[in-house]
Amino acid sequence: MSFSLLRHLTPVGHANSLRWGALTTGGRRLMSAVQATQDSMTGELTALPDINPSRLEITRNPNPATPPPSSSLVFGHTFTDHMLTIPWDVLSGWGTPRIQPYGPLALEPSSTVLHYAQTLFEGMKAYRREDGKVTLFRPDMNMKRMNNSAQRIALPTFNGDALLELIKELVRIDKHWIPKEPGHSLYIRPTLIGTQKAIGVGPPNEALLFVICSPVGPYYPKGFQPVALFGTTEYIRAAPGGTGAFKLGVNYAPGVMPQKAAAARGYAQNLWLHGPEHYLTEVGTMNLFVVFRREDGAVELVTPPLDGMILPGVTRDSVLTLAKEHISGTKKLPGLPDNLIISERPVTMKEVKDASHSGRLVELFGAGTAAVISPVDRIGYLGEDVLIPTGPDGMGPVSRPIWTELVGRQTGTIPSDWSVVVTD
Amino acid sequence: MSFSLLRHLTPVGHANSLRWGALTTGGRRLMSAVQATQDSMTGELTALPDINPSRLEITRNPNPATPPPSSSLVFGHTFTDHMLTIPWDVLSGWGTPRIQPYGPLALEPSSTVLHYAQTLFEGMKAYRREDGKVTLFRPDMNMKRMNNSAQRIALPTFNGDALLELIKELVRIDKHWIPKEPGHSLYIRPTLIGTQKAIGVGPPNEALLFVICSPVGPYYPKGFQPVALFGTTEYIRAAPGGTGAFKLGVNYAPGVMPQKAAAARGYAQNLWLHGPEHYLTEVGTMNLFVVFRREDGAVELVTPPLDGMILPGVTRDSVLTLAKEHISGTKKLPGLPDNLIISERPVTMKEVKDASHSGRLVELFGAGTAAVISPVDRIGYLGEDVLIPTGPDGMGPVSRPIWTELVGRQTGTIPSDWSVVVTD
């Protein structure tokens, strides 16, 4: 009994790694040994080991690849030499974190992720600054959201700071994969899946957290290109009481077929609407912003409120925060109108359409980690195209100054505490 | 070029099986060789090989297990010696079907199923009749629904008859795993996942269809036990424009946490409601039926219509069909009221609650492959319990005769063309 426990609390580099099979065999005894208690309300086990960076085991890839030329990169197709894996088990908590050669996962065909979509993920980027330092952008936001996502689909939660430490170590090991060219970065994909080997629908008794990294180029390699959206009244992304506010796999598969349908009509992405009022919610896989010029001359930056259907995007929050700092005078952004108003409020297609017709629509854009800012020039809606003004390079008078500040903070040309140094 | 094509069209048992790596390398040439064309509307490639049972390759499990005692079976925890796998690739269509030893799948960590929930499945059962024959129950319904599900999330479709042939072969090989005890069966789980090795959100360029089998006991080993439902006004299962009408993984993970919450309140399952009217939609992972005694004395069997939110269940369809045959006189069911009316119509919680209070509520039950019929005795709703009559053994005057006929047809004690013989 105590032997199992000691093995489990073994220090970094111990040769005998803990196997899930062993856990199952000695599970009950191990559980009593660590005084695990079950929360009567949530059923969750407490007092089990959390993610522990000091237990990290590293196995170097014996056959490292040569990173391909940056010009050849296609988003999410190339992966670095290593990945991070951390197993979890309901009886013993989080197991040994491992950085190991990138390679296939052996998953039982009964694994619940393959049947019931028990998966969630995050999207982060590591940037190589001009001074050579490697940084992450607001990674605490991703760790917090990842835990919120886990709670929503009964996957295990964890110490976000601990996972972040391990992600930093992974980035350090593969830092030569971060392209040096401007606008490039290393896209980081933390993922958490349910791996219970039984096809009952319920909270999984096993899970696997893994992190993979992919070098990526700029989303718009030839400069900003405004996109056309299809305002779909046929399909939805989210609904009240659903999962739209969480970064879960389940929010993505259902959008692919509507995306194909929009593309067949000549539009780049869907504009997801809600309810008979056709409230605007999100753009493809991005948050949405609209800018109106009000009758009193003020410029209103609008984004739908976090009402349970909207993903709390890191870029969304950053855009709002920068606009608020501009208004408060904490940090004025050159070029951004002084008479700016920020509204987190519902906005309907009728309002957007009316503003387009009356000339009070200033711009409309998506915001997300992959594209940062994605300007929109028209929306196909109920058989007509609603036209949206765009600036000379796509972005408008509000998005341009915000984008400049945001990318400056991401790449480190503008100092801020949003940029977290991984390695010198 | 022609060499690749010849390898691909190789007959059953050819030693050199086609590998996905080879496909990627020679893909473009192969595509032109088979004159693949892309549908301009759907983007789908046509004229590629479909699932072909004559190409089946069988590798027997060298270490077959001994089926455990039927009394020890827990739903979905035990699997048979073999599984069926069929790979698909956008450039070459469906590849070689293989029946091989049950075991782990090697999936790239970038596989889209692990990130974007590109998965769908079916639930079927093989029964061992008293005369020794092994049968499936209405398997054509599962094949049709599986194709509908695939189309909804941009996974490849296929010839359902061809897949059914292969499933029959798998069942024949593992038929000794079907428990002999009454009420037992072999649960069959066909699954289709997107396996593209790149984390862009889009139609996957690779997929894997696999089928695993699990011996199962009766859902209610000690006789019917009515369950209590929690009518949740906080969470939803589906919404208009969503995926509720398809058997997709995405419909299941989001229900686990609400299920835990219902259990913590003392209820077995959620009753999924829709809209401010609180329309009843489904019960946990089952379809829903309500029976009212109308003012004119008629007995009305109600189930929500297939409006896009309701899964078109095989058991749902079977219940409706048996009731219709009773009414039409095609086949009278002993004990079922003669003044029966069938309604596929919306039904609200107010209607159910009023009927409960006025004594006009006859019964309420779930219907699905796992439990067949699952009687309900109360619904927690807005702080009170709505009570539902149940018969002496749980089932009521409508569900009992239908259940008897349905199980008779499933197990072969009542002959019908719904029962499809797999092997003598």
CATH number of B227-414: 3.20.10.10
Chain B interface mutation, best of A110, A122, A147, A307, highest count of B Cβ atoms under 10 Å: A110
Contact A191 B240 (CB under 8 A): no
Q: Is B220 helix (H, G, I), strand (E, B) or coil?
A: coil
In this structure, is the dihedral angle defined by the CA atoms of residues A257, A260, A266 and A270, taken in order, positive or negative?
A: positive
pLDDT score of A225:
87
Contact A250 B255 (CB under 8 A): no
Shortest CA distance from B110: residue in chain A: A212
pLDDT score of A355:
98
Per-residue pLDDT reduced to its tens digit, B254-312: 999 999 999 999 999 999 999 999 999 999 999 999 999 999 999 999 999 999 999 99
Per-residue pLDDT reduced to its tens digit, A128-186: 998 899 999 999 999 999 999 999 999 999 999 999 999 999 999 999 999 989 889 99
User: Using only C-alpha atoms, what is the Rg of chain A?
Assistant: 23
Alpha helices in A65-159 (DSSP H): 112-116, 139-152
Residue B298, min C-alpha distance to chain A (Å): 37
pLDDT score of B67:
97
For a pLDDT cut of 90, what percent of chain A falls above it? 83
How far apart are the C-alpha atoms of B182 and B169, rounded to whole Å?
23
A10-14, A374-378, A386-390: range with lowest mean pLDDT: A10-14
CATH number of A47-216: 3.30.470.10
Give the residue among A306, A297, A254 at the shortest CA–CA distance from A117.
A254
pTM score of the predicted model: 0.90
How far apart are the C-alpha atoms of B257 and B235, rounded to whole Å?
10
Residue A257, min C-alpha distance to chain B (Å): 6
Per-residue pLDDT reduced to its tens digit, B375-394: 999 999 999 999 999 998 88
Residue A18 has pLDDT above 70, yes or no: no
Q: Tokens 């917090």 label which residue? A: A144
Contact A260 B113 (CB under 8 A): no
Per-residue pLDDT reduced to its tens digit, A350-371: 999 999 999 999 999 999 998 8
Distances (CA, A) of B65 to B73, B166, B259: 15, 22, 34
Chain B interface mutation, best of A256, A265, A270, A279, highest count of B Cβ atoms under 10 Å: A256
Contact residues, chain A, for B255 at CB < 8 Å: 201
Give the residue among A46, A87, A104 at the shortest CA–CA distance from A197.
A87
Residue B228, min C-alpha distance to chain A (Å): 18
Contact B116 A252 (CB under 8 A): yes
Contact B119 A115 (CB under 8 A): yes
Instruction: CATH 3.30.470.10 in chain B: give the residue spans.
Output: 47-216
How far apart are the C-alpha atoms of A304 and A344, rounded to whole Å?
5
Residue B172, min C-alpha distance to chain A (Å): 20
How far apart are the C-alpha atoms of A221 and B99, rounded to whole Å?
46
Contact A259 B202 (CB under 8 A): yes
Residue A12 is encoded by which pair of tokens?
């970094």
Instruction: CATH 3.20.10.10 in chain B: give the residue spans.
Output: 227-414
Q: Could you give the dihedral angle defined by the CA atoms of residues B325, B328, B333 and B335, in that order, rounded to the nearest 10 degrees? A: 140
Average pLDDT on A214-227 reads 85
Model ipTM? 0.90
Q: How many CB atoms lie within 10 A of CB A206?
A: 22
Which of B40, B103, B236 lies closest to A239 in CB terms? B236
Which of A76, A104, A200 lies closest to B106 in CB terms? A104
CB contact burial A162-201 (16+ within 10 A = b; e otherwise):
bbbbbbbbbbebbbebbbeeebbbbbbbbbbbbbbbbbeb
- Residue type (1 letter), A65: A
Residue A236, min C-alpha distance to chain B (Å): 5
CA A404 from centroid of its chain's CA atoms: 21
Contact A252 B43 (CB under 8 A): no
